C-alpha cells in the first residue's frame, strides 16, 4: 500500500499534538533507597526515571482521590444506617480510615 500526499501524515501528527500536555519542570530530592527502586523500575520497564516518577505520582494521586471518595461513601452510609450494629461497624471503619490502625 502506497500513501501519497501529506494528509495522512498531518492527521497523525495533529492527533498527537492535541493530546500533548504542557510539561512543567520540577526538581525533587529522593532518598537513596527510593532512587534505587525508581532506577530498577525504569530499567525493568525500559522507561526513563522521569516517566516512572510521573506514573508513580499519578497512581498515588488517584489512590488518594479513591480513598477520599471511599471515606465520603462510608460517611453517607453511616448517616443512612438504621441498625445499631451497622452504625457501630461504619464508625469503626471511619475511625480506621481517619486515625489509622
Return the sign of the alpha-carbon dihedral for residues 46, 49, 54, 55: positive
Note whether residue 45 is domain-resident: yes
Summarised one tens digit per residue, pLDDT across range 58-71 is: 999 999 999 999 99
Note whether residue 81 is domain-resident: yes
Note whether residue 77 is domain-resident: yes
Note whether residue 39 is domain-resident: yes
In the chain, % of residues over pLDDT 70: 79
6 three-state secondary structure: coil
Domain that holds residue 42: 32-99
Furthest C-alpha separation in the chain: 73
Note whether residue 87 is domain-resident: yes
* Number of domains forming the structure of the chain: 1
Give the pLDDT mean for 41-54: 96
Note whether residue 41 is domain-resident: yes
Amino acid at each position: 500500500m502506497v500513501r501519497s500526499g501529506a494528509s495522512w501524515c498531518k492527521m497523525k501528527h495533529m492527533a498527537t499534538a492535541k493530546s500533548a500536555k504542557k510539561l512543567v519542570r520540577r526538581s525533587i530530592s529522593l532518598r537513596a533507597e527510593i532512587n534505587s527502586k525508581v532506577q530498577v523500575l525504569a530499567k525493568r520497564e525500559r522507561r526513563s526515571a522521569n516517566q516512572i516518577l510521573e506514573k508513580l505520582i499519578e497512581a498515588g494521586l488517584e489512590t488518594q482521590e479513591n480513598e477520599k471518595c471511599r471515606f465520603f461513601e462510608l460517611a453517607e452510609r453511616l448517616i443512612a444506617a438504621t441498625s445499631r450494629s451497622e452504625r457501630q461497624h461504619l464508625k469503626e471503619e471511619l475511625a480506621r480510615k481517619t486515625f489509622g490502625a
